[in-house]
Amino acid sequence: MMRDEVHAIGYRRLEGPRPVWPGWPIARTLWVLGWRRRATKMSLMACFGVFGVHGVWLVSQLMARRYLNLGPRRGLLTGVDRVVGSVHEVLAAYVSIQFFVTALVIAVVASGAIADDRRAGAFELYFSRPLTRLHYALGKLLGAGLIPFGTLVFPTFVLWLTAVGIAPPGMRSELWWLAVPAVGSAALGAATLTAGIIGLSALGERSLTVCTAFVAGLLLMSGVCEGLVESGFEAWGYLSPERDLRTVVDWLLQVGHDSLSASLLPGRPDGNGSPALSLLALGAWIAAGLLALTWRIRREVRAG
């Protein structure tokens, strides 16, 4: 057999600045694809709506307090509290309700994160590049995770900051400590949604199926578990991520929900009996999502 002469240049490192971390372009592609869908824009508008309603509630509540805090009107404060509620209530209600609306956004944007790659055969293109499985997984989690960060975590922080900024002077000191539980519970919700959609996308075949299954599953579990709890089967409450999150949020923010405003808002029934078990249940949902992602990547991609 003939052997022809061979020359080569060998592997050379890229000259110039340090290579950009490949997780960013993966996340960016997810957003670019998501932004092209009309459903993304519509669900984002719903998010803004929820934020706006809670913002107005919070501002009007605090402005009323500032006004009533003056001299002879001080006596009316307790009555006003009963009507407009407290900052704790606004934040807790925001995290719980926005969790549902954000589920819509993240489902629309990230349902195809892994499923579409698998259908399109994009793994071959991704992993013919200097990319590891970890880069890929982190890139997808980042892409999906920044959506609830933008619609749930950051707005919660903004609401808290607004509250601290416009609260009557005597009230500020009690609002400072709210930052950690409010933002922390929003972050927990964001992590649950991110791991849930990415895990489901890793298991699913089509983005539309994944999107529908995610939203319908969340609503269905919430409704069914709520009904079962009301019928006396309290343990079932821990199977609803929304109810678990609500339980944890209420516990962290020490919310009673007895104001008139809070009672007008949907989805604020009582939570589960044990916040610790709810926290554990949310952790299990997150772990399941990450496990599905790991399984899929290990199955589809052999390269290290």
Helix (H, G, I), strand (E, B) or coil at 41: helix
Q: Which is nearer to another protein, 144 or 186 (CB)?
A: 144
Q: Which is nearer to another protein, 15 or 71 (CB)?
A: 15
| Cβ atoms of residues 267 and 100 within 8 Å | yes
Task: State phi, psi for 10 to the nearest 5 degrees.
Answer: 80, 175
Q: Which is nearer to another protein, 129 or 177 (CB)?
A: 129
Least separation in angstroms between residue 200's CB and another protein is: 19
CA 138: distance to chain centroid?
Answer: 16
Token pair in block for residue 78: 């307790």
Other Cβ atoms less than 10 A from the Cβ of 128: the count is 9
Least separation in angstroms between residue 7's CB and another protein is: 5
Q: Which is nearer to another protein, 17 or 71 (CB)?
A: 17
Other Cβ atoms less than 10 A from the Cβ of 188: the count is 23
Token pair in block for residue 69: 């805090």
Q: Which is nearer to another protein, 82 or 119 (CB)?
A: 119
Cα angle vertex 200, ends 199, 203, to 5°? 90
Token pair in block for residue 29: 């592609």
Q: CA–CA separation, 259 vs 123, rounded Å?
A: 52
Q: CA–CA separation, 292 vs 287, rounded Å?
A: 9
Q: Which residues bind another protein (CB under 8 A)?
A: 1-14, 17, 19-20, 22, 24-26, 28-29, 32-33, 36-37, 116, 120-122, 124-132, 302-304
Q: Which is nearer to another protein, 112 or 237 (CB)?
A: 112
Least separation in angstroms between residue 32's CB and another protein is: 6
Q: CA–CA separation, 122 vs 106, rounded Å?
A: 21
